Amino acid sequence: MPLGSTMRHKMVSLCPTSYEKAQKIDNFSKWVRQKLLDDSTPTEEVFKHYAECTSCGETWGSYTAKRVPRDCVACLKKGLDPVVKRWTERAGDL
């Protein structure tokens, strides 16, 4: 685990047999973390979507693409023709 990392809690439900096995492992949480990190199954990448109005400079960001507007409502109300530029970044790079 990298220095300064934040640990998060995740509850695991165990059947009676797996519970008994888990009881015999000295540091069960560490064992689970190691097993997950050893797993070579690729995970789905997380992306964050951004947009910026080139007219007024308002910005938006969301992990859900449809929450990032294609038009700046504030500029449209003012009668301006805003150009909203959109881009996406991998969450791991942020």
pTM: 0.48
Residues 52, 88 contacting (CB under 8 angstroms): no
Residue 67 has pLDDT above 60, yes or no: yes
Token code pair at residue 53: 């109005």
Q: Which helix (H) or strand (E) holds 35?
A: helix 28-38
Phi, psi of 51 (to 5 degrees): -150, 150
pLDDT of 28-65, one tens digit each? 999 998 988 888 776 777 788 999 998 899 999 998 88
Specify the higher pLDDT residue, 40 or 22: 22
Where are the chain's structural domains?
47-93
**Is the CA virtual torsion 80, 69, 90, 2 positive or negative?**
positive
Mean pLDDT value of segment 18-34: 93
Q: What is the pLDDT of residue 94?
A: 46
